[in-house]
Amino acid sequence: MKELDAQQTVAKERLENVKNAKEYQAVKSEVEKLKAKQSSLDEELLGAWNKFESVQKEQETFLQDAEKKRGEQKDIQEQKQKKIDEHKALLEERRQQRAQREKGVPVDWLERYAMMRSRVADPVVPVQQNSCSACFWSISHQNMLMLKRGQLLVCKGCYRFLYIPKELVEQEK
Ligand SMILES: [Zn+2]
């Protein structure tokens, strides 16, 4: 554009100093050509500028979106961390409760429990209709009486620990 301006200035100066009509026409047509070239360059420049602006806007929107998503991810991450912390605290609380309760239980029972726990998901099961609710082994009358007195027994069929639910004992009373 600068170069075109300079060329136009030179041409205009020449226009002022022409000696005859023929030379005047030649220089004038040169000026017209330069003007046309300038106007088409102006259009091109405007087009490029508009394109630049729209790309810039797109980029701004993209960056805003990315920032928003990052914020959302951070929130989710924080919520997850909060839950993990809560579970950790709960686990610690349960560990302490468990240690407290284990104090009154004979060591060999704890060992048997640990062994069963490593083999099955439910090492302690309730009695249902005079049978083990896991393997349906029928429980003798004598053992039922012991269980009703609150004693813990091991099932002869599957070796799980048996107990009678409190509600059932109370019902019979
Ligand atoms: Zn059983």
Q: Which two tokens stand for residue 48?
A: 């490029």
pLDDT at 136: 95
pLDDT confidence bin for 77, thresholds 50/70/90: very high
Count the residues in the chain. Answer: 173
Tokens 């048997």 -> residue: 112
pLDDT confidence bin for 88, thresholds 50/70/90: very high
Helix ranges (H only) for the chain are: 2-16, 21-102, 107-119, 141-148, 166-172
Taking only the tens place, the pLDDT of each residue in 11-59 is 888 888 878 888 888 888 988 999 999 999 999 999 999 999 999 999 9
- Which residues make beta-bridge pairs with 26? none
In whole angstroms, give the CA distance from residue 123 to residue 135: 12
How many angstroms separate the first and last alpha carbons of the chain? 107
pLDDT over 80 at 170, yes or no: no
CA of 63 to the centre of ligand 1 (A): 64
pLDDT over 80 at 168, yes or no: no
CA of 53 to the centre of ligand 1 (A): 78
pTM more than 0.75: no
pLDDT at 173: 61
CA of 150 to the centre of ligand 1 (A): 18
Taking only the tens place, the pLDDT of each residue in 90-148 is 999 999 999 999 898 889 888 989 999 999 999 999 999 999 999 999 999 999 999 99
Please list all protein residues whose beta carbon sits less than 5 angstroms from ligand 1, which is an ion.
132, 134-135, 137, 155, 157-158
pLDDT at 172: 66
Phi, psi dihedral angles at 134 (to 5 degrees): -95, -50
pLDDT at 105: 85
CA distances from 54 to 15, 41, 42, 61 (A): 42, 20, 18, 11
| Cα–Cα nearest to 88, from 80, 40, 133 | 80
pLDDT at 73: 97
